[in-house]
Structure 1
Amino acid sequence: MTACLERRRAASLPSPLDWPDPVLAGALAPASLDWAAIRDALNAHGVAVVKGLLDRRACDALIAAYDDEARYRSRVVMARHGFGRGEYRYFAYPLPDGLARLRREMYAPLAPIANDWHRALGIESRFPAEHEAFLARCHAAGQSRPTPLILRYGDGDYNCLHQDLYGEHVFPLQVAVLLSQPGEDFTGGEFVLTEQRPRMQSRVEVVPLARGDAAIFAVHGRPQQGVRGVYRVNPRHGVSRLRSGHRHTLGLIFHDAE
């Protein structure tokens, strides 16, 4: 069962309203999250749900910003590439200040989890503690295009199961934040995860999300403890067909693209 981690704040933390970018003024400070519970959920299920990472104001602002073409480096119409139906836009550098900060501050507590996974899988490479150092590694390898994006789906749209791999350097976790409200803004359009396991049938999980909720999930291989030791599972993610309305999602990918 997916762990749902309730929104909480520490009194000593700065208010999200102090964040410099108004688009993400309603973001919950990542340092206030229960990262021990997130780690446990990711290790057990490959996904953790954070309730209310963004408030409604932030979600509405991001949806409205989708049509501000100056913020983005490219637009992808999914049907043209066999990815499904719908479209998405990648943000351009420099990212909006609040978005860059959210990406950076989500990376920091996820890096130790990613390193534990590499260690368990016998992968020698390790991830630096700071996101800037990891991005420098990506950029040195020719992965210099930003990957945070907003996806937009309409009636009948869907996203095929896939992995977000953009080059040699891959951070094994990413974040998707639902910006629309199920049952009000759209119907259908469930977030779907699958895990391909060696010599076993694939496992499927539908992850329930409300507006502002974030799913933190495995991108490309994670360790799973079995009766004979640790084995690797191969995850993919997608979105089921929308029955009506419009659905928007913010995606935070921590590696950059070639």
Structure 2
Amino acid sequence: MNTQANTAMSQEAPPPSADARVAARDWPATTAELDDYGCAVLEKLLTPQECRDFAALYAREEHFRSHIEMARHGFGKGEYRYFRYPLPELLDGLRTALYARLAPIANAWNERLNVAMRYPAGHADFLRLCHESGQTRPTPLLLQYVAGDFNCLHQDLYGELAFPLQVAILLSEPGRDFTGGEFVLTEQRPRMQSRAEVVPLRQGDAVVFAVHNRPVNGTKGAYRVNLRHGVSRLRSGRRQTLGIIFHDAR
């Protein structure tokens, strides 16, 4: 009887907090992957139910400040909506917890590249810098693609202050909800051919990746390589993604 009761309680236990689930990740391994490839996967950052809950918000306009149709701006095909403040609690918690783990990586990259900017340890302090620079609009977003849609290779830079890493969480399940639609990252090194990285994701997985550039070690020290990211053509179904950008926009 006690065993059954304990099992029922275990099944009903809520998911860990944003802080707990982020803290539980292998950050030394994640740091190494980011240093080597410019991206790293955090598996099962969201539960399937949380993915469905976020995806369902797309139809509720009260959560968003703007709606963008990519084709109108030459961004590709598909659409996305920027959240308004206040953000949903879990999204706000993940943005804060992930920033705290990524800020030391960003600072180490800037040090290697001899860039003076150092990011504060806490996300609230970084947002304060953004707002003092006139960047006050929230940047987390929900993206939606249907068959034939794609996202051109791009960089998400919204002002003078741009955090060099961001996160995308896949809310849909490949093979069940959609086919195609792979996350793609390209890296262009000086005097070399571009390198492409296709990142396989499952529902609830997050990919952390470089927004603009990152350091790569060369014979004369670290040098800067530029990166762009996008989504390949969706073959069928619908693909939804939660994007977490850490700097605010003008």
TM over 0.5, shorter chain: yes
Deviation of 1:29 (Å): 1.6
SS in 2 for 1:246: strand
- 1:234 matched to 2:231: no
Query: Could you tell me whether the CA contact under 8 Å between 1:16 and 1:28 is conserved in 2?
Result: no
Structure 1 residues 104, 241: CA separation in 2 closer, same or farther (over 3 Å shift)?
same
| Count, aligned residues | 238
Instruction: State which of 37, 43, 47 in structure 1 corresponds to 2:29.
Output: 37
Corresponding residue for residue 74 of structure 2:
82
Which residue matches 1:145?
137
**Range 91-100 or range 122-131, more displaced:** 91-100
Give the corresponding residue for 2:56. 64
User: Which of 151, 158, 165 is the equivalent residue of 1:159?
Assistant: 151
Give me the whole-angstrom Cα distance separating, in 2, the residues matched to 1:182 and 1:31. 27
Aligned residue for 2:236? 244
Q: Could you tell me which amino acid in structure 2 is paired with residue 247 of structure 1?
A: R
What secondary structure is seen at the aligned counterpart in 2 of 1:90?
strand
Q: Please tell me whether Structure 1 or Structure 2 has the larger radius of gyration of its CA atoms.
A: 2
What does residue 131 of structure 1 align with? 123
Paired residue for 2:42?
50
The runs of at least 4 consecutive aligned structure 1 residues that moved more than 4 Å come to none
The residue number in structure 2 matching 1:174 is: 166
Equivalent-residue separation in structure 2 for 1:99 and 1:92 (angstroms): 12
Aligned-partner residue type, residue 108 of structure 1: A
**TM-score, structure 1 length as denominator?**
0.90
Residue of structure 2 in register with 1:4 after alignment: none
Q: Note the C-alpha offset of 1:147.
A: 0.3
The structural deviation recorded for 1:221 is: 1.1
Name the counterpart of 2:175: 183
Cα deviations across residues 127-150 of structure 1 (Å, max 9, x unaligned)? 000000000000000100000000
CA contact (8 A) 1:28 1:53 kept: no
Find 1:197's aligned residue among 189, 196, 201: 189
Mapped contact 1:103–1:254 kept (Cα < 8 A): yes
When residues 42 and 124 of structure 1 are mapped into structure 2, their CA distance, relative to the original with a 3 A threshold, is same
1-structure distance, mates of 2:14, 2:29: 22
What amino acid is aligned across from residue 78 of structure 1 in structure 2?
A: M
Aligned to 2:204: 212
**Larger fraction in helix:** 2
**What is the Cα deviation at residue 223 of structure 1?**
0.2
Counterpart in 2 of 1:222?
214
Which runs of 5 or more residues in structure 2 are unaligned? Answer: 1-12
Q: Percent identity?
A: 61
For each residue in 1:190-220, what CA deviation from the matched residue of structure 2 results, as whole angstroms up to 9, or x when unmatched? 0000011111111111000010100000001
Unaligned runs of 5+ in 1: 1-14
Give the drift of 1:227.
Answer: 2.9
Alignment-mate amino acid for residue 228 of structure 2: R
Q: Which deviations, in whole Å up to 9, do the C-alpha atoms of 1:206-250 show, x marking residues without a partner?
A: 000010100000001100012332111100000000010000000
Q: Please report the TM-score for the alignment, with normalisation by the length of structure 2.
A: 0.93
User: What is the alpha-carbon distance in structure 2 between the residues aligned to residue 101 and residue 143 of structure 1?
Assistant: 20
Bigger mean CA deviation after superposition, 28-37 or 103-112: 28-37
